[in-house]
Structure 1
Amino acid sequence: MFDKLRVYYGLKVFQTYKWSFVIVVSLMVSETAVGLSLPYLIGQQSQAFLDEVTILNDNHLKYLFLWIGLFAGQAALRFFSSYNVNLVGARLMADFSCRLYDHIQVLPIQYFQENKRGDVLSMLTNDLAVVSFFVSSVLTNLIPNILVLIGASILMYMIEPTIALLICFLVPLIYVILKFVSRGMQPISQQLVQRQADTLAQASENIGAISLIKAFNKEADESSKFRQRTNEVLALRAKQFRLQALLSPLIQFLASICILIVVIMSVLKFNAGSLGIPDLITMLLYGIVFTRPLGSLAGLYGQLQQVIGASARLLHVYHLESEPRDSGGIAAQIKDGDIVFNKVSFGFAQRGEILKDVSFHLKPQQNMLIYGQNGGGKTTLLHLIMRFYEPVSGEIIIDGFNVQHTTIRSLRSAIGLVSQDVLLLNGTIFENLTYGLANPIADEVYKAASQAGLDNIIMRLPNGYDTQVGEGGIKLSGGQRQRIALARALLLKPRILLLDEPTSMLDEQARLSFKEEFHGLFARFTVIMISHDPTLSNVADVVYKLENGELNRQ
């Protein structure tokens, strides 16, 4: 499967950057052609220097100026090819990172529940950096080096077939030895990628839970764990560097042996009279040219093993199924908020069945309370309405539309969700209130804040609506964050409101106030509240208890 994905994405990338690749390869071929012509011209024209006793006559100067021109041309071509290939690599990686980010965003909620945030961040940073560096390196080095090897072999064959055939035998032998020596590189690289992701995941988790760490005096323990993971990464890097450091000098040594054989064979051919001085010089120069790509390709082999581990993780994420696409779905026009659950069942592989044949009918502008123990499936029920999950069986119908056949955008735009764990962005209160709006109107924002009981709180803050909330809303209290989430949901002008533990972060006075405000605030919505606290039943039209996966009316 991964091989098919590699081919698919490779073809897709080539089609997108086809002309950029054509220009880069043309520049590389031109540079290689100039580089390969230099040993031949120098070798063949050396006879003119040997035949004439005069030092640097006009004929000699002509050759020297030609060589200098070729040197300059090769340098210019290398500049343009190197610049363009790195630019294409940067553009390709920028595009790839955006595609990856887009794909991650449309993965189902379950993926984020089962994977650490640090793993996702590691893919977007470390893994992409590894692939980006490799793409730039491989395009910069692999193509010219292969062209040099092929071109030099052909030109040497034209001069002396025996020596060229000997080289064609020795080069594969070198890579057989290379493969044997570096057989442990790939598993080390895969372990290294995972250990780096684990280290970043721990750091991300600890920073997010820094108040918990401080409250339980666990700073030293967490530092010890981080140091241990870092040392594991360091140990794997040391093994990787040792193998990489071994490869290059080993290939250089074997290549030098090959060149020594070429030199001896050339001298023997020269002594036998089958090789002239110009051809001898040309062969020796090509022998020198031959060593550079062999050493570079050894380094690329080590990088290839490292990038395999990173690309495997990236391709695995690309292979994951995203949320249902909106194409083919019905753009539901939800105006009333009539909700029907018809024998809906759902479960996770790790936890088994959570909801069993849940059925109810909530009429427009009614409000319902579902209470039960924590972990009983209440939040899961709300997530099924939002299509964060899909039912195993049964159907959910809103205003006559089966939600599984509607577009996700049309469904979620009609629903306001206020989660128990309120998520705020690192910005101002105003920016968080208007997050879901394309063109916010200030008066409507202030009205929603007032309805959520937030305006008096905001006006007591020094900067009012421009107050920075901090990452995740850390600068605000739990009750303030919850009221912002409520006002943000009201601003979407939904037909349905889903409230997850709406009073969990409020103090006793605020809870009483919430109950008093409830009927006036939510009268025009269809409301589903979930809570572990059954005392909210006095503000609900319909009350259900969720127990052992079954929903029973009270």
Structure 2
Amino acid sequence: MLAGQMPAEKLQDFKGSSKRLLGLLRPQRTLAGLVLLCGIAGVTLSVIGPRILGHATDVVFAGFIGGDLPAGVGKDEIVAQLRARGDTGRADMLAAMDFVPGQGVDFDRLGHILLWVLAIYIAAWVFGVMQGRLTARVAQNAVHRLRSEVEAKLSRLPLSYFDQQPRGEVLSRATNDTDNIAQTLQQTMAQLVTALLMIVGVLAMMLWISPLLAVIALVTVPVSIWVTTRIGKRSQPQFVAQWKTTGRLNGHIEEMFTGHSLVKVFGRGKEAAEAFEKHNTELYASSFRAQFISGLIQPAMMFISNINYVLVAVVGGLRVASGSLSLGEVQAFIQYSRQFSQPLTQVASMANLVQSGVASAERVFALLDAPEQEPDPASPGVRPAAGRIAFEHVSFRYLPDRPLIEDLSFVAEPGQTVAIVGPTGAGKTTLVNLLMRFYDVTSGRITLDGVDIATLPRAELRERVGMVLQDTWLFGGTIAENIAYGADAPSDADVAAAAEAAHVDRFVRTLPDGMDTVIDEEGSNVSAGEKQLVTIARAFLAEPSILILDEATSSVDTRTEVLIQRAMNTLRAGRTSFVIAHRLSTIRDADVILVMEDGAIVEQGTHDDLIASGGAYARLYSAQFAEAAVEVD
């Protein structure tokens, strides 16, 4: 019924991903070796237990047989009498037993045997606990290191990767998939080692007790392997689909909660719920198929195990009757056959967990293998930066066949305020992304004080730049902590000065806790304009050589905007400033205005010069500020 809802997907490289997943354990070879030793010790003791317990059964059975026979008669004489009467079967059975006619159960011997069994099982339990603790340490250390690798990888990925991936999908790989890997390692590593050791140990004991019964028990192994393989091949694609669908669902939830207010404003709650229901149904379908198909393994293995039990019990009973085996040996063998079937069933039932874990590992490894931004060159040393920026024949394109910026050249002198205006999609923000090296130029170069920024480490370049974006970002913490984010260990006086310069103090004074007011993670307890003031104060505190303001005052009122403009006039002194603005009134006093269209600078000059030329800037300015009477017929 559910098979047609999602196409089955396969792991790209199950074998390779499995090896790489096991490679996470390589740095902990010592602990992994201890896990193996504890497993060997625990399994050895667990395997010995039934054999000794079989001796206890023989003691009890011999006691009951001997108690019913007359005392003073030898065992050989009783066996001979039975053979003389033609009761050969019973004679063979008694001949193989160790009993004393007329003597009942030897409880002293029985007690010693049971004490040994108890001691053995307690020791096996201790080794099992030690193995479990060591396994947890190994698994969590491996996943801890994997999470660190993912975090480091995210910091090395270019901005283009995040532009192409939904944030919820990236978060799902970094959280859900790594958690699933941890669960897989935790639950399978110790159990798998124990199960494999148990199979070897039990098989050796079964061959020791009765090769014939061992062969009968082994007949079911190929059947078990065939069943497990067939079911596993059908469930594997479903686990891949399950985790991919989980990523899509997380991406949708993250988008809907981030834009919750807009969803409400535009009345798209129903559509959002329908999209959620679609993703949720797909996840239900893939998860149901994965768990149901893989869940068939254990019932199938139990069925095969029961058939094996019947065969062993019947043939074992015949061997006891013939005197080839003692009752205790058959009882021990039946226990071993159960112990032999149990690890086979465990290994088979772990197949679904392993496939799920490998599917998650493949997604995490795909993230770790994603192309990184070009490594930073060796630092040439910190130089005093005057802030002269030069674009020299710069070309750039996001996609190879779609040019955006072609042969762009201009110079921003130290202390100048350069305004960048133009219609949406003209390349204004792309210009800033290139300057910050969020993207690298396709051709040409950008220089800072004559040094190609491609030769500078990104961190060294960006520490000289203060940036305020139209989309504000505040983290959960106090207002003072959010402002202090712009510098390393600033003093309270520095934070207060930056707040005053950005006029944050105007609204902070109205708050009961002042600068210690805690902003929640979404910043919902301050207005959009107030959040923007805090981000501007953060940039002021950094005291950069270069300021980039991308619509930095778009969310503040007109009076606050005037105050900020005055403060920025002072702070921009001696600093090169780039201002991206749609409201042209905010950049009238800029030293140079660059007018961009289709990735090229079509005009540049001062406000007055551009107005006088009557070109593209004049048309933009007229469209915003000229009054016209519009008649509508």
Contact kept in structure 2, 1:248 and 1:299, CA below 8 Å: yes
Q: Aligned equivalents of 2:507 and 2:518: distance in 1?
A: 14
Q: 1:491 aligns with which of 537, 541, 545?
A: 541
The letter for the 2-side match of 1:316 is A
1:450-509 Cα distance to aligned partner (Å, 9 max, x none)? 222322232233322122333232332232222221211121121111111133223333
Contact between 1:128 and 1:310, CA under 8 Å: does it hold in 2?
yes
Per the alignment, residue 274 of structure 2 pairs with: 224
Identity of aligned residues (%): 25
Q: Take 1:412 and 1:442, find their aligned partners in 2: how far apart are those partners?
A: 24
| TM alignment of 1:49-88, pairs within 5 A | 49=60, 50=62, 51-52=98-99, 53-88=103-138
- Select 2:510's aligned residue among 447, 453, 460: 460
Question: Contact 1:334/1:398 (CA < 8 Å) preserved in 2?
Answer: no
Letter in 2 for 1:85: T
Equivalent of residue 301 in structure 2, options 233, 251, 266: 251
Contact 1:339 1:398 in 2 (8 A): yes
Which residue of the partner structure matches residue 105 of structure 1? 155
Say which SS state the counterpart of residue 217 (structure 1) adopts. coil
**Partner of 1:184: helix, strand, or coil?**
helix
Residue 14 of structure 1: aligned partner: 26
1:9 Cα shift? 6.0
Corresponding position of 2:582:
532
Report the alpha carbon displacement of residue 317 of structure 1 after superposing the two structures with TM: 0.5
Letter in 2 for 1:448: A
Specify whether residues 27 and 509 from structure 1 end up closer, same or farther in structure 2 by C-alpha distance, changes over 3 A only.
same
1:184 aligns with 2:196: no
Q: Out of 187, 190, 213, which is 1:137 matched to?
A: 187
What is the aligned counterpart of 1:28 among 39, 51, 57? 39
2:337 pairs with 1:261: no
CA drift at 1:6 = 5.7
CA shift digits 1:343-364 (9 cap, x unpaired): 2221112882221122122221
Matched, 1:357 2:369: no
Larger radius of gyration: 2
Structure 1 residue matching 2:397: 3-state secondary structure = strand
Determine helix, strand or coil for the equivalent of 2:391.
Answer: strand
Residue type of the alignment partner of 1:217: G
Residue 202 of structure 1: how far off its partner (Å): 1.6
- One-letter amino acid of the structure 2 residue matched with residue 204 of structure 1: E
3-state SS of paired residue (2:233): coil
Q: CA RMSD in A?
A: 2.5
Task: Tell me if structure 2 keeps the 8 A contact 1:38–1:67.
Answer: yes
Shift of 1:138: 0.6
**Which is worse superposed, 446-455 or 266-275?**
266-275
1:417 aligns with 2:467: yes
C-alpha separation between the residues in 1 aligned to 2:601 and 2:510?
43
- Residue number in structure 1 paired with 2:393: 343
Aligned to 2:52, which of 27, 41, 52? 41
Equivalent in 472, 492, 495 of residue 442 of structure 1: 492
| 1:257 Cα deviation after fit | 1.8
User: Structure 1 residue 296: deviation in Å?
Assistant: 1.4
1:359 counterpart SS class: strand
User: Please, which of 258, 262, 269 is the counterpart of residue 208 of structure 1?
Assistant: 258
Distance 1:202 1:334, change over 3 A: farther
Question: Which residue of structure 1 aligns with residue 207 of structure 2?
Answer: 157
Deviations 1:396-428 (A, max 9, x none): 111232222211211111111111111111222
Q: Could you tell me which residue of structure 2 aligns to residue 320 of structure 1?
A: 370
Cα distance in 2, alignment partners of residues 7 and 411 from structure 1: 40
> Residue in 2 aligned with 1:175?
225
From the superposition, tell whether residues 464 and 321 of structure 1 become closer, same or farther in structure 2 (CA, over 3 Å): same
Unaligned runs of 5+ residues in structure 1 are none
1:270-281 counterparts in 2 under 5 A?
A: 270=320, 274-281=324-331
Residues 75, 537 of structure 1: alpha-carbon distance in 2 compared, 3 angstrom cutoff: closer
Query: Any idea what SS the aligned residue of 2:406 has?
Result: strand
- 3-state SS of paired residue (1:352): coil
Report the Cα offset of residue 8 of structure 1: 5.2
State the Cα distance separating 1:118 from its structure 2 match.
Answer: 1.5
SS at 1:546 equivalent:
strand
Distance 1:80 1:294, change over 3 A: same
User: How far apart, in 1, do the equivalents of 2:128 and 2:260 lie?
Assistant: 51
Unaligned runs of 5+ in 2: 1-11, 63-97, 605-633
Equivalent residues of 2:236, 2:290 under 8 A apart: no
Q: Which amino acid aligns with 1:35?
A: S
Aligned counterpart, 1:302 = 352
Matched, 1:383 2:433: yes
- Alpha-carbon contact 1:252-1:294 (below 8 Å) kept: no
Shift of 1:209: 0.9
Q: Is the 8 A contact 1:331 1:406 kept in 2?
A: no
1:527-551 per-residue CA deviation (whole Å, 9 max, x = no partner) reads 1112234444422112211111112
Measured after TM superposition, the shift of residue 162 of structure 1 is 4.3
* Count of matched residue pairs: 553
Structure 1 window deviating more from structure 2 (369-378 vs 347-356): it is 347-356
Partner of 1:551 in structure 2?
601
Residue type matched to 2:36 in 1? V
Equivalent residues of 1:332, 1:401 under 8 A apart? no
Q: Deviations over 1:176-205 (max 9, x none)?
A: 122213422112111111222222222221
1 CA distance for matches of 2:380 and 2:520?
39
Native 8 Å contact 1:174 1:254 kept in 2: yes
CA contact (8 A) 2:420 2:428 kept: yes
Q: Could you say what secondary structure the match of 2:518 adopts?
A: coil
Alpha-carbon distance between aligned partners in 1 of 2:314 and 2:355, rounded to the nearest angstrom: 36
TM-score using structure 1 length: 0.93
- Taking the aligned partners of 1:492 and 1:513, their CA distance within structure 2 comes to 20
Tell me by how many angstroms 1:525 deviates.
Answer: 0.9
Q: Is the CA contact 2:396–2:441 (under 8 Å) kept in the aligned structure 1? A: yes
Tell me the CA shift for residue 96 of structure 1: 2.4
Q: Contact 1:414–1:495 (CA<8 Å) still a contact in 2?
A: yes
Q: Does the 8 Å CA contact 1:331/1:410 hold for their aligned counterparts?
A: no
- Is the contact made by 2:227 and 2:300 (CA closer than 8 Å) also made in structure 1? no
